[in-house]
Structure 1
Amino acid sequence: MAPKVSIQPDLPASSGPVAAPATNPVDWVELVLAESCAQFEEGYQLWLAGDFERAQLCLDQALWIPMTMEAELPDPRLRVFIEEVSAQIIALVDENPQPETNTQYDEAMLEKLLEGELFEFAFAEMEIEPTAPESESNPFPLTHNAVVDSFLNVFTGKKRQAIGDSLKRSQLYVPFIQAVMQEQGVPLELAYLPLIESGYKNNARSRASAIGMWQFMEGTATDFGLRVTWWEDQRLDPIHSTFAATRYLKQLHQEFGDWYLALCAYNAGPGRVRSAIRRGGTRDFWVLAKKKLLPRETMAYIPAFLAALHIAKAPQDFLFEVPDAEERVFEEVEIPFCLELSVLAKANRLSKETLFDLNPALVRRVVPPDQLPYLLRVPLGTAERVVASLSQIPEADRLQWTRYKVRRGDTFSAIAKRNGVSVSSLQQANPGISPKRLQIGQMLVLPIKGGAGPSIPLGLSEDFYTVRSGDTLSQIAQKVGVSVRQLQAWNPSIRPEKLRPGQRIRVRKSGS
């Protein structure tokens, strides 16, 4: 176990008790860091207790709070604190890993591209030219100025390999992305945004825990209909995440009326952009950047994207070779029960890696029990064979899962015996948890093969239900065996007419 960590704001040596608060200015940086510390501490304890989903939300906030305040509070303590929190989170996860997801994450592209380059350009000395107005014939103005040139020099020089590799991967996805964007009325140029966000890697992960090709934070992902659960993370899926990203970008443009500002909000959050506009008295990105009213990364984000876009539109002009990619084709089949993808692959003489690649959102490499029947992608021409094989898969190879909260005195062998499973299967389901380091309140995955033992209702995990597409409150009540009135009593803030996929609803009284 990692030693208990307490991160405290790096306050000046002279700071101490304030005798007369009314006559002393508030140290806003201290308040921001104190809130971030509280989020980190809560996330740290939740992580050690095995409540990884809630822990991740707290740890995300611990980083996000100071990162988004840098523009409004230009204080070196924030940057030092961000680096320290990042290091502590990495150490926590490395020394106390959660049960494996089988997903190996790569570094996010934006951090790689901007590393060491963030302020090699100088907005302050730049002569401001008004951004060309958006029009039907020119929906996304392609500005070219000295700042963009500085990024072009970097992308065709020190970062040439990273840009070249990303361009090659882009060929697989851009036609699909542009088709979605055209349908939604979003400029086709934005199909190249993943060039700087993720390098078109579905498994890209930023230090702030933004994940996937479109680098969604968990909260934003669920707001736009993506499922982020213990079983499935649709941020990793290029199809689902593209639809969500397109809707989000369109919504941001509807608010700000300018694509550059919409992209700033995509990077830093709408609140930061609203604040910059209010303080700067303008909606021109270049003016806001010159005044340094936006977060540092966001100031670089627009010229970096414009530079990448110049390259993507004419790669040969910059001596990039971009071969055509093979089209990825597949069929979809409904899987009515939970099973490992490797079992399905073996039953159909398919490569399990192919199934993993076609279904990247399935982080446990298992058909999720809370989304049955599940629409699974299979190679083109195999759907009929896969459907026929389902009835031939032995009951012993079908899975049911539940979650178990460790109690006082529990051991792996006691838990296994009590629930009718083997110790080895329990260990395989929880590879990141040491039997010698169980903690009260820690959450374990409990596999139940062949229908033996208790099953869990669809979408039900402990005391909560995860809303699925098309669910109504009455359907959920019927599914979990309680009344609608009881659900409303347990969830006073839930509005039945505004249920959304991924939302969590309490369906049992706590502790029952």
Structure 2
Amino acid sequence: MKIKLLILPFFLLLSFSLFAQESVEKTGTPKAEIKLTYLDSIKKTFVKDDLAACVDSLWLKELSNLDIFNNLSDDIQNINMDVQVDYELPTELLKARLQEMDEKSPFHIEYNQGLENIIKSFLKNRKRSFERLMAVSEYYFPLFEEAFDKQNVPLEIKYLAVVESALNPKAVSRVGATGLWQFMYQTGKQYGLKIDSYVDERSDPLKASEAAAQYMKNMYAIFGDWDLVLASYNSGPGNVAKAIRRSGGQQNYWNIRKNLPKETQGYLPAFLATMYIYEYHKEHGIKPERAPIKQFATDTVMIKRQMSFKQISELIDIPVAQLQILNPSYKLNIVPAYKDQTHFLRLPQDKMAVFTSNESKIYAYVDREANLRERPFQIVRPIVSQDSVNTFQRLAQAKVRYYRVKRGDNLSTIAQKYDVAVDDLKKWNNIKGNKVAYGKNLKINGVEAEEKSSAIAKVEIDKKGIQKDSLASSTASFYVVQKGDNLSNIAKKFNVTVADIQDWNKLTTKNLPLGMALQVVKNPTNKEEVAIVTPERKDIQYMVQKGDNLSNIAKKFGATLEDLKQWNNLTSNAIALGSSIIVAKNEIAIVTNKASVASFKKKDDYSNPTSKEVEYYVKKGDSLYSISKKYPGVTIADLKKWNNIKSEELKPGMKLKING
């Protein structure tokens, strides 16, 4: 009986909890939809690799840490080999170990009190630094050994990079020596290392190591002694030669040491002390830290488009810091793309798999990012305040377009294509989620109305249908707000006040939305001359002149070679003299429609648009194309004709006639 009484409440409690859970599932609030960016959408199509990248961020920090380099450099420059150091290392044991090292090395490794003092100093004060350096050396030493082996240079010279740069490819000395092997600018150039605004191969581990190996080989051909080769690497062969002469012709490093520059006097001992600590680190309780990635676990890929570390990081999910460590020769965090040279990107193998599997998509993303940048000679597309947009949306006849969904499409890419919002696409087509079916026809609303709403005239009509005021005539000037603009710099640009701009555009705040068109010139007071100015999208044509080629035309008009070829259906770079080609696609040309307001005044009251002559003085950076854009309706051919100009070249200060 007691069991029955206990079972009943249990089942009631269980059923209540299940019912409550079901109710929550049914009535729970829906999850907010996450809007996908173009980057997200392209990454969703990436071919994935199952290998996981696990790179210790502390190790990355260690690779880029300059503290050890600075401290070690100070030690070598200020070292005093005559000061004895209290450290437990029997002299006889040290002599035996140095003898073992000498037997296996082409260097003259002999015991002396000064060398013992440096070894003990490093063991006492720098044990922690060597633990960290030994972890980093697991990445670099195999690369050094390969370069030295090719030139038949002693492999022990790999320890010299520890003394030179503390294995930091970004290390720069007080005199400008750079990289793992601390090449000076002229020496780097002499040994074939490229140094320009984007690239400094003195910081490239592979190429700098090859140059260092070649240098060592050349110096050995001169001195015939590896100790003197190292001395010449630090101070230059000239200083070593002077030290030999000042020492009466002696050619042993320890005999000429006192006649070498001060920092070189401690250079070879520091190298030998470093070699000893690496060889006998276990005996002294030095435990190297872990190196999560090694040279053989990375690979390189040739880059075909200029791209930034930030773009690569976003696309394949790799920290920018790791890209900097693996590719230290790129000074601006950008992998450039030169026409006649190749550049390579080093990546961990798992990230290399992602990059190479999705290379075409990655370049498509980079090209899209490049096309979004502002270009020179870009035609400004005027956009007016909201009141004007509403006026012209009523005047313009809305146009509806349809788009059939293709394979690989998603709402984000379609919205990007038509420059509309994803939410609008969903609203126009009654789409609930983020998926769209292949083959479905999507409605794109109001394209023409949106284009026409970019007009630079604002017309107010009273109840009788008569124009009450003309807020813009054909001479009105508007400016489209760009990224980084504010009211102050725009006012300064057009020599007006902030208050003027706020008054003319009825602004109640200083915040400016990107793309908004601001009136920046006060409107004329003559209200009788009225013109409705509307934008019309046209292809801009250019007639090929003598000396032109597709490349310089593209540069002149801020386009790319691919753009020009696509717009003009060209299969090669060849163009015929006198032919007309499209140099800008679907740009806004300003068209004045005076007929639309002809009912407001007599026809013969209109002035002749070509009756007024304007003088324009050429400024630095001007071209015939940019000047023609300042005067609606004026073409490059007009400017040439009016001013008897035969070529495209203009000189600053030159006076041009603008007829009308």
Q: Deviation of residue 384 (structure 1)? A: 1.7
Post-superposition Cα deviations, 1:114-152, rounded to whole Å, max 9, x if no partner, equal 254245459xxxxxxxx99x9996422322221110101
Post-superposition Cα deviations, 1:157-198, rounded to whole Å, max 9, x if no partner, equal 123333332223212211221222122211111111122111
**Distance of aligned partners of 1:142 and 1:422 in 2 relative to their CA distance in 1, 3 Å threshold:** farther
Which of 252, 255, 260 is matched with 2:227 structurally?
A: 260
**Distance of aligned partners of 1:343 and 1:277 in 2 relative to their CA distance in 1, 3 Å threshold:** same
Secondary structure at the aligned position of 2:300 is classed as strand
**AA aligned opposite 2:172:** R
Does residue 1:361 correspond to 2:323, yes or no? no
1:409-428 residue pairs with structure 2 within 5 A? 424=484
Secondary structure at the aligned position of 1:203 is classed as coil
Q: Which residue of structure 2 lines up, in the alignment, with residue 112 of structure 1?
A: 74
**AA aligned opposite 1:395:** D
Q: Deviation of residue 263 (structure 1)? A: 0.4
Provide TM-score, normalisation by structure 2. Answer: 0.42
Which of 357, 360, 379 is matched with 1:385 structurally?
A: 357
**Distance of aligned partners of 1:363 and 1:305 in 2 relative to their CA distance in 1, 3 Å threshold:** same
Query: Following the alignment from structure 2 to structure 1, what is the Cα–Cα distance between the partners of residues 176 and 560?
Result: 30
Q: Which residue of structure 2 lines up, in the alignment, with residue 143 of structure 1?
A: 110
Q: Deviation of residue 454 (structure 1)? A: 5.6
C-alpha contact (below 8 Å) 1:337/1:398 kept by paired residues: no
Q: Deviation of residue 221 (structure 1)? A: 1.2
Secondary structure at the aligned position of 1:316 is classed as coil
C-alpha contact (below 8 Å) 1:163/1:195 kept by paired residues: no
C-alpha contact (below 8 Å) 1:105/1:205 kept by paired residues: no
**Distance of aligned partners of 1:156 and 1:455 in 2 relative to their CA distance in 1, 3 Å threshold:** farther
Which of 325, 342, 345 is matched with 2:313 structurally?
A: 345
**Distance of aligned partners of 1:323 and 1:119 in 2 relative to their CA distance in 1, 3 Å threshold:** closer
Q: Identity over aligned residues, as a percent?
A: 27
Query: Following the alignment from structure 1 to structure 2, what is the Cα–Cα distance between the partners of residues 253 and 294?
Result: 18
Q: Which residue of structure 2 lines up, in the alignment, with residue 304 of structure 1?
A: 270
Query: Following the alignment from structure 1 to structure 2, what is the Cα–Cα distance between the partners of residues 188 and 400?
Result: 50
Secondary structure at the aligned position of 1:142 is classed as coil
Secondary structure at the aligned position of 1:205 is classed as coil
C-alpha contact (below 8 Å) 1:194/1:213 kept by paired residues: yes
Post-superposition Cα deviations, 1:289-313, rounded to whole Å, max 9, x if no partner, equal 1xx2100110110111111111111
Q: Which residue of structure 1 lines up, in the alignment, with residue 583 of structure 2?
A: none
Query: Following the alignment from structure 1 to structure 2, what is the Cα–Cα distance between the partners of residues 198 and 345?
Result: 28
Query: Following the alignment from structure 1 to structure 2, what is the Cα–Cα distance between the partners of residues 162 and 259?
Result: 27
Q: Deviation of residue 358 (structure 1)? A: 1.8
Secondary structure at the aligned position of 1:229 is classed as coil
1:451-470 residue pairs with structure 2 within 5 A? none
Query: Following the alignment from structure 1 to structure 2, what is the Cα–Cα distance between the partners of residues 109 and 452?
Result: 53
After superposing the two structures, state which structure 1 stretch, 245-254 or 333-342, moved more.
Answer: 333-342
Q: Which residue of structure 1 lines up, in the alignment, with residue 598 of structure 2?
A: none
Query: Following the alignment from structure 1 to structure 2, what is the Cα–Cα distance between the partners of residues 263 and 456?
Result: 51
C-alpha contact (below 8 Å) 1:186/1:246 kept by paired residues: yes
Query: Following the alignment from structure 1 to structure 2, what is the Cα–Cα distance between the partners of residues 383 and 113?
Result: 43
1:49-448 residue pairs with structure 2 within 5 A? 107-108=69-70, 110-114=72-76, 116-118=78-80, 120-121=82-83, 138-280=105-247, 281-289=249-257, 292-323=258-289, 325=291, 326-328=293-295, 329-370=297-338, 372-380=341-349, 381-398=353-370, 424=484
Query: Following the alignment from structure 1 to structure 2, what is the Cα–Cα distance between the partners of residues 164 and 275?
Result: 38
Secondary structure at the aligned position of 2:263 is classed as helix
Query: Following the alignment from structure 1 to structure 2, what is the Cα–Cα distance between the partners of residues 400 and 136?
Result: 65
**Distance of aligned partners of 1:383 and 1:330 in 2 relative to their CA distance in 1, 3 Å threshold:** farther
C-alpha contact (below 8 Å) 1:261/1:285 kept by paired residues: yes
Query: Following the alignment from structure 1 to structure 2, what is the Cα–Cα distance between the partners of residues 294 and 423?
Result: 58
Secondary structure at the aligned position of 2:283 is classed as helix
C-alpha contact (below 8 Å) 1:215/1:235 kept by paired residues: yes
Secondary structure at the aligned position of 1:178 is classed as helix
C-alpha contact (below 8 Å) 2:179/2:204 kept by paired residues: yes
Query: Following the alignment from structure 1 to structure 2, what is the Cα–Cα distance between the partners of residues 399 and 184?
Result: 46
Query: Following the alignment from structure 1 to structure 2, what is the Cα–Cα distance between the partners of residues 334 and 309?
Result: 36
Secondary structure at the aligned position of 2:139 is classed as helix
After superposing the two structures, state which structure 1 stretch, 159-168 or 185-194, moved more.
Answer: 159-168
Query: Following the alignment from structure 2 to structure 1, what is the Cα–Cα distance between the partners of residues 481 and 348?
Result: 34
Query: Following the alignment from structure 2 to structure 1, what is the Cα–Cα distance between the partners of residues 556 and 341?
Result: 19
Q: Deviation of residue 352 (structure 1)? A: 3.1
C-alpha contact (below 8 Å) 2:309/2:334 kept by paired residues: yes
Q: Deviation of residue 451 (structure 1)? A: 8.1
C-alpha contact (below 8 Å) 2:180/2:203 kept by paired residues: yes
**Distance of aligned partners of 1:400 and 1:187 in 2 relative to their CA distance in 1, 3 Å threshold:** farther
**Distance of aligned partners of 1:333 and 1:149 in 2 relative to their CA distance in 1, 3 Å threshold:** same
**Distance of aligned partners of 1:121 and 1:185 in 2 relative to their CA distance in 1, 3 Å threshold:** farther
C-alpha contact (below 8 Å) 2:82/2:114 kept by paired residues: no
Query: Following the alignment from structure 2 to structure 1, what is the Cα–Cα distance between the partners of residues 220 and 208?
Result: 18
Secondary structure at the aligned position of 2:345 is classed as strand
Query: Following the alignment from structure 1 to structure 2, what is the Cα–Cα distance between the partners of residues 358 and 172?
Result: 10
Post-superposition Cα deviations, 1:257-306, rounded to whole Å, max 9, x if no partner, equal 111100000000111111111222111111111xx210011011011111
Q: Deviation of residue 379 (structure 1)? A: 2.6
C-alpha contact (below 8 Å) 1:108/1:197 kept by paired residues: no
Secondary structure at the aligned position of 2:124 is classed as coil
**AA aligned opposite 1:350:** I
C-alpha contact (below 8 Å) 1:268/1:298 kept by paired residues: yes
Query: Following the alignment from structure 1 to structure 2, what is the Cα–Cα distance between the partners of residues 166 and 399?
Result: 44
Query: Following the alignment from structure 1 to structure 2, what is the Cα–Cα distance between the partners of residues 273 and 421?
Result: 64
After superposing the two structures, state which structure 1 stretch, 296-305 or 382-391, moved more.
Answer: 382-391
**Distance of aligned partners of 1:295 and 1:343 in 2 relative to their CA distance in 1, 3 Å threshold:** same
C-alpha contact (below 8 Å) 1:177/1:242 kept by paired residues: yes
C-alpha contact (below 8 Å) 1:261/1:273 kept by paired residues: yes
Secondary structure at the aligned position of 1:382 is classed as helix
After superposing the two structures, state which structure 1 stretch, 341-350 or 170-179, moved more.
Answer: 341-350
Structure 1, unmatched stretches of 5+, are: 1-102, 123-130, 402-419, 426-449, 458-512
Q: Deviation of residue 365 (structure 1)? A: 0.7
C-alpha contact (below 8 Å) 1:348/1:385 kept by paired residues: no
**Distance of aligned partners of 1:143 and 1:343 in 2 relative to their CA distance in 1, 3 Å threshold:** same
Query: Following the alignment from structure 2 to structure 1, what is the Cα–Cα distance between the partners of residues 315 and 481?
Result: 24
C-alpha contact (below 8 Å) 1:109/1:204 kept by paired residues: no
C-alpha contact (below 8 Å) 2:307/2:366 kept by paired residues: no
Q: Deviation of residue 199 (structure 1)? A: 1.4
**AA aligned opposite 2:361:** S
C-alpha contact (below 8 Å) 1:233/1:361 kept by paired residues: yes
Query: Following the alignment from structure 1 to structure 2, what is the Cα–Cα distance between the partners of residues 368 and 237?
Result: 15
Post-superposition Cα deviations, 1:458-512, rounded to whole Å, max 9, x if no partner, equal xxxxxxxxxxxxxxxxxxxxxxxxxxxxxxxxxxxxxxxxxxxxxxxxxxxxxxx
